[in-house]
Amino acid sequence: GAVVSQHPSRVICKSGTSVKIECRSLDFQATTMFWYRQFPKQSLMLMATSNEGSKATYEQGVEKDKFLINHASLTLSTLTVTSAHPEDSSFYICSAADTADNEQFFGPGTRLTVL
């Protein structure tokens, strides 16, 4: 089956620093990748959709200057949380699909804690 990895799995950082999270599709080419955020006991909230080689499309209420998304290749997308604050502490999950309408395969998630 399709495998998606995320790195790091867990990160703790100080307030004001930036954190980069990588999402890789290991055995297929992902033209579309999605980034979700999940607070404890809550649902997955879509943050943005990224297509390889083009700018990400952000959902309403998500600051594009704070959550920088790059999808430079068909197997890698990165999410950078800039100037992180404690309220950004959350579980960040990516998913990947070989086309926009196909099944999404989820990564294992990254637990971000901002002190």
Partner 1 sequence: GQSLEQPSEVTAVEGAIVQINCTYQTSGFYGLSWYQQHDGGAPTFLSYNGLDGLEETGRFSSFLSRSDSYGYLLLQELQMKDSASYFCAYNQGGKLIFGQGTELSVKP
Binding site for partner 1 (CB under 8 A): 32, 34, 41-46, 49, 91, 93, 95, 97, 100-101, 103-109, 111
Which token pair is 46? 């879509």
Instruction: Give dist(CA 63, CA 75) in Å, integer.
Output: 24
Nearer to partner 1, 19 or 36 (CB): 36
- In whole angstroms, how close is the CB of 52 to partner 1 at the nearest point? 14
Instruction: Give dist(CA 111, CA 91) in Å, integer.
Output: 5
Contact by Cβ (8 Å): 23, 74? no
Nearer to partner 1, 14 or 41 (CB): 41
Nearer to partner 1, 34 or 67 (CB): 34
